[in-house]
Structure 1
Amino acid sequence: MRQFTDIQDLSGLVRDALGAGCRVVAVDRLRGGSKKGVYRVRLEGTHTSSVIVYSWAAAENFWPGAREADPADPFALASGLVPFLAAQRCLDGVGARVPRVLLADDSRRRYPADVAVVEDVSGGTLEALLATDPARAAGALGDLARMLEVMHRHRARHYGRVDLLDRGGSASGVPCERRVLGRALRDLDEAAGREGRIGRAGAAFRDRLRELADRVNPRTEYGLIHGELGPDHVLVDADGHPVLIDIEGLMYFDVEWEHVFLQLRFGERYTALARPGLDPRRLDLYMLAMRLSLVAGPLRLLDGDFPDRASMRGIAEHNMHEALALRPLA
């Protein structure tokens, strides 16, 4: 049985962040996270009514083992205080809005895991706002498009997660498209072992992935991308501006990888985020690779005890049908 945190665990931590006069009155664990715990802590006796606490405790990570062992791999599991703070600094430096960090601690003296106390952005997610207030959401979506344009035009000569690059490392031993190809082939093998419909199409998928990768010419510059930017990973502040969360996977990479994910997650609203000049050959390869990733990943998560099993199964099933539709016809 997993043990999550409670008022007693977080009271001292939050007082250290906000001052001795604040009092924790309630703690709610927010749903949806698979790598870290996210808690809304409600307060009295301070200028703010709530804060968010991120906990990277082992009990908060639902992934059943790390498939990627190479820390230089930009697709390795991105989790922890170090990548979070590196991403926060980078995004803040380019002018992209992220929650303010009130306290960050990896000493394990205040709390038995890496932990951060951050601003609680008041407006909810862009996903919810698109459903409840389309006019207000349209403004936030336009701001998000401009934010992404700034990020994607912020260039680097090497690709990789920003925390790795900050330490002087590089993931650029092979071109981006070959890195994606290798990952897609592993995702294909993994999905095929769990789902017979993918397994029966395995040879066709392998041939198609290699064919698409062979069409792509290497690059020598890369843009700054979030990596998993859906409308659930964008909050909206009191002024209606977008705020990026779940930023630990921030990396320099082909911006087409970001745009494929945006297409999948924003659907018909992607037109507000689209930009000219993307490489259609990369988009073709990355779309198929992303679909296979969104089959293998959720099925892998279901090997463990992730609680929202129906949603993960639904993601895998949807993307399996979409991937099968991208197979070359016999």
Structure 2
Amino acid sequence: MSGLVRDALGAGCRVVAVDRLRGGSRKGVYRVRLDGTRTASVIVYSWAEAENFWPGAPETDPADPFAPVSGLVPFLTAQRTLDSLGARVPRVLLADDGRRRFPADVAVVEDVSGGTLEALFETDPTRAAKALGELAEMLEVMHRHQGRHYGKVDLLKRGGSVSDASCERRVLDRALRDVEEAAGRDGRIGAAGAALRDRLHELADRVSPRTEYGLIHGELGPDHVLVGADGHPVLIDIEGLMYFDVEWEHVFLQLRFGERYTVLARPGLDPQRLDLYMLAMRLSLVAGPLRLLDGDFPDRESMQGIAEHNAKEALALLPLA
């Protein structure tokens, strides 16, 4: 990576160490430590095929907001969109899809030095609470930034086709597929398959139509928020940025932030959507991790734990017989 980083920062810098960071399932994330420059380190994103741990999947509808998204172009579109709204994201120092410097699409971005918000909750709760409050303000700006169509920001900016199906229909269809897929890998989901499908249809029937959509991260947990040296929150893993029902984001926030979600909560959310999306999200967090385990994802124990926990929680959402 030496030539790549020198192009980003100047000929005087020298790479002294490269560490692969945990967590990425669709791209490689590397911390590159430097000498000969004021910048102690940078982060390199690599969208090489070998860095994508998800097993091959059949072709999907590009207008589907849940279709897999990865790559330099979606990253740059999301980065510029969020930056234009004042939402803090890592600064891009170099982006290259020519594959002359490096055998993959790559970006060199600033290394936000304060670690994740998740870790900061444990080591410095006061500083974490301040960053969480700022995150709430940032999300309010994003969620109030509305579009007339839903879908991935990258697709919409390129003038791609939009879907005629409603958000809730998309969520329902995906959840039904997740039930079917998870049933083959988890006996409890298989045994409750009919009850889960009936409940999903029942909840979807209660949702009223909507025609405006907010800007959401799509997978925002405290591990996808870094905290800079200045204490401000910084969003990462942003390629999935999309316009969608903000209730989808809030369900994920509830799951990932737990009791701290109260800081991020907002009035006016649709309770019918929240009910449908909570069950759908739980099922997604069963089927997705189990699918990932079909490949060679290295952190297998954590994925198995996510699937196990969410299977129990999904079944707990079924009404008592």
Once the two structures are TM-superposed, the CA of residue 173 in structure 1 deviates from its matched residue by 1.5
Matched with 2:228 is: 237
Q: Do 1:99 and 1:245's aligned partners in 2 also have CA atoms closer than 8 Å?
A: yes
Instruction: Determine if contact 2:64/2:163 at 8 Å carries over to the other structure.
Output: no
Number of residues paired by the alignment?
321
Instruction: Between 58-67 and 30-39, report the one with greater CA deviation.
Output: 58-67
Alignment of 1:25-174 (within 5 A): 25-67=16-58, 69-174=60-165
Residue 12 of structure 1 aligns with which residue? 3
In the TM superposition, residue 163 of structure 1 has moved relative to its aligned partner by 0.2
Instruction: Write the distance in 1 (CA, Å) between the matches of 2:202 and 2:31.
Output: 47
When structure 1 is superposed on structure 2, of 67-76 and 90-99 the one drifting more is 67-76
Distance 2:192 2:165 in 1: 27
- Does the aligned pair in 2 maintain the 1:34–1:62 contact within 8 Å? yes
What is the TM-score of this pair, normalised by structure 2?
A: 0.99
Change (3 A) 1:270 1:67: farther
Cα drift, residue 66 of structure 1? 2.6
Q: Deviations over 1:34-65 (max 9, x none)?
A: 11000000001112000000000001000011
Residue aligning to 1:306: 297
Q: Quick one: which of 169, 175, 181 aligns to 1:190?
A: 181
Structure 1's consecutive aligned runs of 4 or more residues displaced over 2 angstroms after TM superposition are none
Partner AA of 1:283 in structure 2: L
Note the C-alpha offset of 1:218.
1.4
Note the alpha carbon deviations across 1:263-310, whole angstroms, 9 max, x for none: 000000000100000000000000000000000000000011111110
Instruction: Output the CA distance in 2 between the equivalents of 1:233 and 1:91.
Output: 14
Gaps of 5+ in 2: none
Partner of 2:15: 24
Paired residue for 1:328? 319
Residue by residue over 1:149-182, the C-alpha shift from the partner in whole angstroms, topping out at 9 and shown as x without a partner, is 0000000000000000001124331000000000
Measure, in 2, the Cα distance between the counterparts of 1:267 and 1:171.
34
Please give the TM-score of this superposition, normalised by the length of structure 1.
0.96
Q: Structure 1 CA distance, aligned partners of 2:279 and 2:260? A: 21
**Which amino acid is 1:15 matched to?**
R
Change (3 A) 1:68 1:197: farther
Counterpart in 1 of 2:240? 249
Match among 273, 279, 296 for residue 282 of structure 1: 273
For 1:207, what is the secondary structure of its paired residue? helix
Structure-1 separation of matches of 2:143 and 2:228: 22
**Which ranges in structure 1 are unaligned for 5 or more consecutive residues?**
1-9
Task: Note the aligned Cα RMSD (angstroms).
Answer: 0.8
Equivalent residues of 1:66, 1:77 under 8 A apart: no
Equivalent-residue separation in structure 2 for 1:169 and 1:216 (angstroms): 27
User: CA deviation digits over 1:236-281, x for unaligned, max 9?
Assistant: 0011000000000000000000000000000000001000000000
